Amino acid sequence: MSTSILVSVEAGVQRITLNRPDKLNAFNPEMHGLLRAALAQADSDPAIRCVLLTGAGRGFCAGQDLSEREVKGGDAPIDLAVTISVYYNPLVRRMRALPKPIVCAVNGVAAGAGASIALACDLVLAARSASFIQAFARIGLVPDSGGTYFLPRLVGRARAMGLALLGDKLAAEDAERWGMIWKCVDDDKLPEEAAKLAQMLARGPTRGYGLIKRALEASTDNTLDAQLELERDLQREAGFSGDYREGVAAFLAKRKPEFTGR
Ligand code: LHQ
């Protein structure tokens, strides 16, 4: 039976593959439901210590499926806010609040909400032939799924505005150069590099990683004072973890740490 999301777990890594290649993995309600379930599993299952998100076929994700009845419109105007409230906003919130790292392997074009969702991930690798398109303005819409939040913070207002207004294709190499993503790699190396990175993170101090995510998330809007207080609180929590004890013990014994994620 075909399914719009493929999920597997191996060596602490949950691999999620968006799987509607004929539509460049554009989102429909089934895909949203399955992705939401996969992320809930990633959150609750201690055996999962890193998520790896990618796409099947030649695209990563073309955003919302524009042929869906609920968004296509017709004679009567459609309230797109419903789609956003029910599907996209909860997805982005879930990704950013997940206390485990999410690696994104952008294997091809990431357009519209597909680009925003890639940027919502924690470490974004992209194939050299991949690209990012703020496709929204091309159809009269506004970047959503966090696009207007992530873009200016990653690349600055001038570039964010250019991308959002013009809807031009940004090549993966330029996205790396602009600091929008972590790294651009040769197409044939992407699966291997992304898997290596995810496996490494899955062997890391998972609780500490979750706290790092929280700290960086809060830093965007915090004053220095508030951030210093938050760092203190998060460090307290990290300092009570088994992985901190292991990290220090391994350092002093001049051996590699064996983190358990606790
Ligand atoms: C698609 C799609 C697609 C359906 C390619 N839908 N079929 C939130 C809430 C509510 C409403 C609206 O939106 C949102 C958020 C959003 O995401 S808005 C932005 C939606 N996305 C777009 O506007 C991107 C539309 N796609 C494209 O512009 C192109 O497909 C790109 C530039 C991504 C890739 O171009 P090509 O490489 O030339 O591929 P293609 O256009 O030939 O697409 C391949 C197939 O995929 C094709 O089907 P076909 O049967 O002709 O082979 C497309 O119709 C289908 N497809 N995107 N979003």
Ligand 1 pocket test, candidate residues 24, 65, 87, 142, most atoms within 8 A of CB = 24
Q: State the pLDDT at residue 157.
A: 98
| Residue 57 alpha carbon to ligand 1 centre in Å | 14
Q: State the pLDDT at residue 160.
A: 98
Q: State the pLDDT at residue 1.
A: 61
Total-model pTM: 0.97
Q: State the pLDDT at residue 96.
A: 98
Count of CA atoms in the C-beta half-sphere (13 A) of 135:
18
Radius of gyration (C-alpha) of the chain in whole angstroms: 19
Read off the pLDDT of residues 175-197 as tens digits, 9 standing for 90 and up. 999 999 999 999 999 999 999 99
| Residue 85 alpha carbon to ligand 1 centre in Å | 21
Q: State the pLDDT at residue 74.
A: 77
Residues of the chain with pLDDT under 50: none
> What are the residues whose beta carbons fall under 8 Å from the beta carbon of 70, sequence distance 6 or more?
29, 78, 82, 83
Which residues surround ligand 1 with Cβ inside 6 Å?
23-24, 26, 62-67, 71, 80, 83-84, 88, 109, 111-113, 133, 135-136, 139, 141, 144
Ligand 1 pocket test, candidate residues 22, 30, 66, most atoms within 8 A of CB = 66
- Tokens linked to 217: 């998330």
The string over 70-97, giving b where at least 16 C-beta atoms fall within 10 Å of a residue's C-beta and e elsewhere, is beeeeeeeeebeebbeebbeebbebbbe
Q: State the pLDDT at residue 77.
A: 85
| Residue 62 alpha carbon to ligand 1 centre in Å | 5
CA distance linking residue 25 with residue 106, whole number of Å:
12
Supply the residue whose CA is at minimum distance from atom 45 of ligand 1: 23
CA distance linking residue 146 with residue 115, whole number of Å:
10
Q: State the pLDDT at residue 177.
A: 98
| Residue 56 alpha carbon to ligand 1 centre in Å | 15
Supply the residue whose CA is at minimum distance from atom 32 of ligand 1: 111
Q: State the pLDDT at residue 138.
A: 97
| Residue 201 alpha carbon to ligand 1 centre in Å | 32
